[in-house]
Amino acid sequence: MVRMPRLAHVAGICLLLSFQLAALPRTISGEVSAIPLTIVVSTSSDWTKLTFYNLTLLIWSCNLTSGKEAPQIAYSITFDTIAISKKQYDETNVTLMINALVELGVGKVVLLTEKGAIGNTTFTIFCEGQELAQIKSMGSVPGDEAINARLFDLTGIISSGRLETREIELSRTLGQPMVLAFYYPWYGNSEGKLFHWENVGYSNIGSSTFYPLFGPYDSRDVELIEAHLMLAKAAGLDGFICSWWGIDTFEDTALREILKVSNREGFNVTIYYESVRDLNQEQMVKELAYVLSTYSNEPSFLKIDGKPVIFLYAVSAYGRTPEFWKGIVEKAENLSGKDVLFLADTFDISYAESFDGFHTYNPIWISEGRLEDTYCSEAKVARVLGKFWAATVAPGYDDRKIRSPGTFVDRRNGEYYNPTWKGSIYSDPDFVLICTWNEWHEGTNVEPSREFGFDYLQLTNSWVSLFKGTSFGILPEAEPILNQSLWESNSSIVLELRNEGNGDAFAANVLINVGTSINCIASAICLPVNESCISLFVPMIRSNESFFTRMPLGTIGNFTIELHATYFSLSGKRYVSAYSKNLIFSETKEAPTDLRFLALLAPLPLL
């Protein structure tokens, strides 16, 4: 029996969206008009934040002219905010001078000032050395003492009609855009040991928001890696950004296998350097140099113009400054002898001199109504600075199984995913990053699951087609046909799954019901359903190949063994088949607990 994907209307939805996309102009290509301004922010409060509406900070240099000695001093600048913070209740005066080029939007230009309960904040604007305005936020706002929010209309002060403008050319840095997915190679299930899987059962996994169609797999399993890569390529992905946690860690071991398979499959791989760890600069340099020296020469390691590409997570964690990272980049390149492109997880462009591009890991912190404008503004900043811009898409988010109370962003049957793609495409990015392929703890997976099947890979395929300008269509079809055979050998049940179709079978799940107690084989892909039934997960069975396994029964008698199998084609078609056979077990012998291998269509030798 063949069952079609549940979102058979995916192609129609994305075709409709393609018309909507075509009807709206690209907003960041060509030239933009910008006004040169000098902005001076001075504050004695322990924190202050300025937010601009209908004004985009495109490019700037900044200098902390006073208050460098203030305890825990920190500042950040994005396309629409300037923020300064220091130790709570510290009243040291801090002054930040910013030389900027700004673009004005349509409508009123508004400034929102916020600050702590103490001190004052002054905001002064200059153009060509002439003071245009000075705005002060003094004392507290009754009833709003926590943030002391005040709004100021700057429309009459900053106007392209009365101030000199400059034309800036915007163009994408990368000639051929790419689609990459964040990939987590930290799942272990081998020799009875689980890693990142908790409270595992056939119906539920305690640490996973959804249930993988591949079951609670092991990230080092070569067949699993091959299946992941084939599905990713069919969906239009160019590569994986693999979460990496240090030298000789579990994830490092898995990365080696992923690179080997990717070399064969022609798929790009790089690392996501997990920086939220208590490491000093020397340790981080050592780790990055290790990755570059050990892996970047692999054919599949992601490169642009011959330069290895590395993505960095949460660069501002632990108070790490742009200067801190600039030192890491320089030392890692010198130690490895590589010229590297580093793309940082930040919208704070004070890090611009340290890195070659910017991204955000997960866009759920951006309100849905502002995502498109946020991405377009951020893309303009990156273009003006000559940096790579990577826009991130996500299907949703739900980490309530691992955190309390946790965060929940409803997938809404793709209605959250689609606008993130739309906003990303409008920003004309060098990369679209998918958050994620398989972060099961946080429920951001596009990898197939029991709950959604292949729905999100099909949506991804359609959006990638629109993004890259390829012909619209569904994934190419090939039909797997799994035939099942059973026989007895040495008091064990021997099962063969034989693929006689012209397409590979993915995520095969076989329920084996014996009617009596049966031992679950010592394999990473087997789970007990109940005392007399086990579930077997097989990542992939290629066309014209067979999968064999042995299950010791441990008893004698006449048994009717029932099999129920589900599996999928490359495009996500679901197949269901059933098979039963009566076997006689006349004596009990000691038998191997596991015999699992793939072979070409050849009989299994009886032992």
Rounded Cα distance between 540 and 218, Å, is: 14
Does 246 score more than 80 pLDDT?
A: yes
CA trace torsion 154, 159, 163, 169 (10° rounding): 110
Mean pLDDT to the nearest integer, 216-242:
97
Mean pLDDT to the nearest integer, 99-127:
93
Q: Residue 224 maps to which CATH number? A: 3.20.20.80
User: Are 383 and 518 part of one and the same domain?
Assistant: no
| Residue pair 96/84 in contact by the 8 Å Cβ criterion | yes
* pLDDT of amino acid 443: 98
* pLDDT of amino acid 113: 97
Mean pLDDT to the nearest integer, 439-466:
97
Question: What number of other Cβ atoms are within 10 A of residue 127's Cβ?
Answer: 16
What is the residue whose two structure tokens read 């969906």?
235
Q: Is the dihedral of CA 253, 255, 260, 265 positive or negative?
A: positive
Q: How confident is the model at residue 447 (pLDDT cuts 50, 70, 90)?
A: very high
Tell me which residue of 106, 101, 104 sits closest to 166, measured CA to CA.
101
User: Are 136 and 183 part of one and the same domain?
Assistant: no
How far out from the chain centre does Cα 18 lie?
Answer: 24
Q: How confident is the model at residue 129 (pLDDT cuts 50, 70, 90)?
A: confident
Report yes or no on 13 lying in a domain: no
Q: How confident is the model at residue 555 (pLDDT cuts 50, 70, 90)?
A: confident
Report yes or no on 306 lying in a domain: yes
Does 606 score more than 90 pLDDT?
A: no
Per-residue pLDDT tens over the stretch 383-419:
888 899 999 999 999 999 999 999 999 999 999 999 9
User: Are 460 and 332 part of one and the same domain?
Assistant: yes
* pLDDT of amino acid 18: 54
Report yes or no on 607 lying in a domain: no
Per-residue pLDDT tens over the stretch 11-42:
555 555 555 555 444 556 677 888 999 999 99
Per-residue pLDDT tens over the stretch 186-215:
999 987 789 999 999 999 999 999 999 999
Does 378 score more than 60 pLDDT?
A: yes
Mean pLDDT to the nearest integer, 435-446:
98
Report yes or no on 587 lying in a domain: yes
Cβ burial of 6 (10 Å; 0-12, 13-18, 19+) is: middle
DSSP-derived pairing of the beta strands 388-393 and 357-359: parallel
Does 340 score more than 90 pLDDT?
A: yes
Mean pLDDT to the nearest integer, 55-68:
88
* pLDDT of amino acid 193: 87
What is the residue whose two structure tokens read 């591009």?
357
DSSP letter, residue 490: T
Does 64 score more than 80 pLDDT?
A: yes
For 76, phi then psi, to 5°, come to -145, 150
H or E stretch covering 401: none
User: Are 413 and 491 part of one and the same domain?
Assistant: no
User: Are 85 and 199 part of one and the same domain?
Assistant: no
Q: How far is CA 321 from CA 281, 315, 317, 376, in A?
A: 11, 8, 9, 26
pTM, whole model, 2 decimals? 0.88
Q: 550 lies in which domain range?
A: 482-600
- Map residue 55 onto helix, strand or coil: strand
User: Are 153 and 176 part of one and the same domain?
Assistant: no
Q: Tokens standing for 396?
A: 């949703």
Cβ burial of 578 (10 Å; 0-12, 13-18, 19+) is: exposed
| Residue pair 75/85 in contact by the 8 Å Cβ criterion | yes
Q: How confident is the model at residue 601 (pLDDT cuts 50, 70, 90)?
A: very low
How far out from the chain centre does Cα 498 lie?
Answer: 35
- Map residue 578 onto helix, strand or coil: strand
| Residue pair 329/354 in contact by the 8 Å Cβ criterion | yes
What is the average pLDDT score of the chain? 88
Rounded Cα distance between 209 and 404, Å, is: 14
Does 591 score more than 50 pLDDT?
A: no
User: Are 398 and 544 part of one and the same domain?
Assistant: no
* pLDDT of amino acid 475: 52
Q: Residue 534 maps to which CATH number? A: 2.60.40.1290
β-bridge mates for residue 304, sequence order:
307
Rounded Cα distance between 38 and 25, Å, is: 31
Q: How confident is the model at residue 157 (pLDDT cuts 50, 70, 90)?
A: confident
Mean pLDDT to the nearest integer, 114-128:
94
How far out from the chain centre does Cα 410 lie?
Answer: 17
Pick the range with the lowest mean pLDDT from 79-93, 157-171, 541-555. Answer: 157-171
Mean pLDDT to the nearest integer, 355-364:
96
Among 169, 196, 218, which residue terminates a domain? 169
Among 439, 468, 497, which residue terminates a domain? 468
User: Are 214 and 330 part of one and the same domain?
Assistant: yes
Does 132 score more than 50 pLDDT?
A: yes
DSSP letter, residue 380: H
| Residue pair 530/516 in contact by the 8 Å Cβ criterion | no
Mean pLDDT to the nearest integer, 431-456:
98
Rounded Cα distance between 195 and 425, Å, is: 36
CA trace torsion 367, 372, 378, 383 (10° rounding): 170
For 21, phi then psi, to 5°, come to -65, -40
User: Are 187 and 83 part of one and the same domain?
Assistant: no
- Map residue 57 onto helix, strand or coil: strand
Rounded Cα distance between 69 and 570, Å, is: 60
Contacts (Cβ under 8 Å, ≥6 apart) of 370:
none
* pLDDT of amino acid 607: 30
Mean pLDDT to the nearest integer, 243-247:
98
Tell me which residue of 81, 55, 176 sits closest to 429, measured CA to CA.
176
User: Are 590 and 551 part of one and the same domain?
Assistant: yes
Report yes or no on 15 lying in a domain: no
Mean pLDDT to the nearest integer, 513-527:
69
Report yes or no on 7 lying in a domain: no
Rounded Cα distance between 443 and 209, Å, is: 5
Domain total in the chain: 3
Per-residue pLDDT tens over the stretch 296-337:
999 999 999 999 999 999 999 999 999 999 999 999 999 999
Q: How confident is the model at residue 520 (pLDDT cuts 50, 70, 90)?
A: low
Report yes or no on 499 lying in a domain: yes
Does 539 score more than 60 pLDDT?
A: yes
Percent with pLDDT over 70 in the chain: 89
Pick the range with the lowest mean pLDDT from 240-249, 511-520, 546-555, 587-596. Answer: 587-596
CA R_g for the chain: 28
Between residues 438 and 164, the one the model is more confident about? 438
Does 5 score more than 50 pLDDT?
A: no
Rounded Cα distance between 290 and 313, Å, is: 18
Q: How confident is the model at residue 590 (pLDDT cuts 50, 70, 90)?
A: very low
Q: Tokens standing for 547?
A: 């999968």
DSSP letter, residue 161: T
DSSP letter, residue 449: B
Rounded Cα distance between 136 and 42, Å, is: 10
Mean pLDDT to the nearest integer, 265-269:
97
User: Are 322 and 279 part of one and the same domain?
Assistant: yes
User: Are 328 and 410 part of one and the same domain?
Assistant: yes
* pLDDT of amino acid 231: 97
Tell me which residue of 159, 83, 162 sits closest to 115, measured CA to CA.
83
Among 126, 148, 169, which residue terminates a domain? 169
Report yes or no on 413 lying in a domain: yes
